[in-house]
Amino acid sequence: MNILLLNQYFPPDTSATAKIAAVVADTLSKRHQVTVLAGRPSYDPDERYPFAFLHRSVVGNLTVERVGSTTYPRHQMRRRVANYLSYAALAIPRAMLIKADLVLAMTDPPFNGIVGATIARIKGIPFVYNIRDLYPDMALGGDIVRPRSWVALWERLHRAALRRAARVIVLGDDMRDRILAKGVDPERVVVVRDGTSLPAAPPPQNHPAIGEIRGAADFVVLHAGNLGFYGAWDTLLEASKLLPANGTRMIFVGDGVSRERLEESSRDSATVRFLPFRPPEEIPCVMAAGDVHVVTIRRGLGGVVVPSKVYSILAAGRPILAVAPEDTDVARIVRSTDCGLVADPDKPSEVADAIRTLKSDPARLAAMGERARKAAENYARVNELQKFVAVLEGIHPPECRSNPNVEK
């Protein structure tokens, strides 16, 4: 097949969707011709491209085309929207000229599903929608936007895109439930998780990077990743106030739109630290630095976001504290594998009690870590990628094009 993959971000962009888009494109290109239609790097890239209406690179079966979208800083929302709109305005006409048998759209920009469905409809080819974050639900639930007539229009167009999709690929069962509630045929909604790669061996505990992260703490509750709109951050900070300042630390490694506010509100705290992202080669050290890792989802956002960091935590053999509603994927995984504890995202005292429980029982904590490492084997990324490829090939099997006698 000739597959057209639409996503604004692609390496050297450093967003999670950029990284997974690269993995998916590379995997698909082993069997098919893949063209990625992206924008100019703008998401904290480690390399920037000069303006050009079109930048094109080809490696084997993978072609990456970048339209000349704007590259304003992503932390300035109005300018970030300009990046989104300029990408869409340039990507749609360019997509019309690209040979494709199938359109695969991810969720950058947030209305990219509508863009993908429109392009597929005009070209008369199947459309597959890989939902990474569910919009506009996330924008409303995360208080990014308020209910307005244009948001209602966005939702109507999004539902039309979902109906147009031959397959909707989602990240978890809770997200699948959300999509089904919008009236989409259950047979067309498929769960394919991001999964993880199992590390060969953890870094030694005396590694300098681990020491820098842990500092003087004797028990570290660690959140690694983006501090976006979806987390129960205030609950975590309130819980930290209930912890004794005798060596327990809640450490946030990362950045995001909520970080400045959270840092300011915990400025005088003896139990909270904020640290910047570490270099990619030190990610195993970040995983090893936490005695327990936090995965958090605000109430009302279950299935809107599905934090894929769960799988890398499992692979690192670390227990999970899921500060999330019980019906979310992370809570279900933690409960079913007994690899950690679940706490109500609206109850700081419950979070603090869970942390004290984990700290007080090192043997139980170690057993949870062992079960986490074992559970990671069920979410191997290579297997999930095979599922992804199979979904696309099931829609438009290559042999059906080459052999007219094969029944479609």
Which pLDDT does position 200 carry in this prediction? 67
Do residues 91 and 190 both lie within one domain? yes
Do residues 139 and 272 both lie within one domain? no
pLDDT 10s digits, 319-344: 999 999 999 999 999 999 999 999 99
In a domain, 236, yes or no: yes
Do residues 170 and 244 both lie within one domain? no
Do residues 115 and 167 both lie within one domain? yes
Which pLDDT does position 396 carry in this prediction? 65
Do residues 182 and 123 both lie within one domain? yes
In a domain, 158, yes or no: yes
Do residues 170 and 215 both lie within one domain? no
Do residues 79 and 171 both lie within one domain? yes
Do residues 374 and 385 both lie within one domain? no
Instruction: Show the domain range for 329.
Output: 208-378
Global confidence as pTM? 0.90
In a domain, 203, yes or no: no
Average pLDDT of 334-362?
97
pLDDT 10s digits, 68-124: 999 998 878 889 999 999 999 999 999 999 999 999 999 999 999 999 999 999 999
In a domain, 54, yes or no: yes
- Whether the ω angle into residue 45 lies within 30 degrees of 0, i.e. cis, is no
Which pLDDT does position 112 carry in this prediction? 97
Angstrom distances, CA of residue 361 to CA of 119, 334, 394: 56, 18, 49
In a domain, 391, yes or no: yes
CATH of the domain at 392: 3.40.50.2000
pLDDT 10s digits, 24-81: 999 999 999 999 999 999 998 888 888 999 999 999 999 999 999 999 988 788 899 9
Q: How many domains does the chain have?
A: 2
pLDDT 10s digits, 179-195: 999 999 999 999 999 99
Do residues 174 and 260 both lie within one domain? no
Do residues 267 and 360 both lie within one domain? yes
Do residues 299 and 225 both lie within one domain? yes
In a domain, 81, yes or no: yes
pLDDT 10s digits, 222-276: 999 989 889 999 999 999 999 987 789 999 999 888 999 999 999 889 899 999 9
Instruction: Say if residue 408's pLDDT is above 70.
Output: no
Which pLDDT does position 280 carry in this prediction? 85
- Where does the pLDDT of residue 161 fall: very low under 50, low under 70, confident under 90, or very high at 90 and above? very high
In a domain, 364, yes or no: yes
Do residues 46 and 168 both lie within one domain? yes
In a domain, 201, yes or no: no
Instruction: Say if residue 403's pLDDT is above 50.
Output: no
